[in-house]
Amino acid sequence: MASNTNSGIGGSQDKSSLVVCFGEMLVDFVPTVGGVSLEEAPAFLKAPGGAPANVAVGISKLGGSSAFIGKVGKDEFGYMLAGILKENNVDNSGMRFDPNARTALTFVTLRGDGEREFLFFRNPSADMLFHESELDLSLIEQAKVFHYGSISLIEEPCRSTQLAAMKFAKRSGSLLSYDPNLRLALWPSPEAAKKGIMSIWDQADVVKMSDEEITFLLGCNPNDDDVVLKELFHPNLKLLLISLGSAGCRYYTKKFKGKVEGFKVEAVDTTGAGDAFVSGVLYNLASDINLYQDEEKLREALRFANGCGALTVRDRGAIPALPTKAAVLEFLQKPPA
């Protein structure tokens, strides 16, 4: 049984399975103790973050091939982030350094009531000032999967840069993967967030969302399959995933739908759980691009992705907590009761 799981997950990974992640990379400051508000935190641990960068590192730590495209400040934090990508075997040749803007900072905590609290420093930060002329098109052209979020859509010039990158990736034959990764505090208003997130909805081949994001976008029960399919499953979409935290995930394709149960673990910090889940999905998708057509293979990959998320919440910070493939496979063989 274990050997089948091992051979069926991911397969061989090389440059032909490259996942290119586009967007923000920043420094997360996480409280040194759990269950407190930002105000109550006695001190903070510095950790690299930013959803697209987290996904790139997650894929690489699983043994996959990944690259990150984005902009940071020409400052110590920016150099630190580029170095962390390199240390984790992520191709960082698509990174750009802005001499006139700082690397973005975020203070994030999981409060005692289970809610996450964010405080962003982007006024503007370097990632918001990424210009289309700075894109590494040769890197995008190699992507089997091109992954992105919605935060880069908030301001120009990075909005136009993301749209151009998506268009070029699609033209180059890449599968487009979209995780909206709602951060409401960064948008001018809830209405602007809904409009911005949905403005590129019909271009993605794969979309991952949380149940909270569905409630925000649709104002309905995220468990209502009929509404979810009617409102969110567009003609070009190949796979829609809804992450449910420790409860697992739901999946929808043109042929089938279902749920894969998650794992109950003691959570220390949930910051990178969704990104770890996406890493697990894209790691498998990059080596088997038609994975979504085989329900048994898809369910196996989603169980693996759920394991990635479960392991990540057991440590602080996003990137430092992302698991290796060996750790995930060991966890799946002996999951918690």
Q: Which residues are catalytic?
A: 275
Residue in 310, 328, 335, 300 with CA at minimum distance from that of residue 4: 300
Q: What does residue 21 show for φ and ψ, rounded to 5 degrees?
A: -110, 130
Q: Any residues with CB less than 8 A from the CB of 330 and at least 6 apart, and which?
A: none
Strand locations in the chain, DSSP E?
19-22, 26-31, 44-49, 66-73, 91-98, 105-110, 116-121, 145-148, 175-178, 206-210, 239-243, 249-252, 257-260
Residue in 253, 262, 247 with CA at minimum distance from that of residue 211: 247
Q: What does residue 118 show for φ and ψ, rounded to 5 degrees?
A: -120, 145
Question: Cα–Cα distance between 216 and 232 in angstroms, integer?
Answer: 13
Question: Cα–Cα distance between 7 and 246 in angstroms, integer?
Answer: 25
Q: Which DSSP symbol is given to 240? A: E
Question: Cα–Cα distance between 14 and 306 in angstroms, integer?
Answer: 24
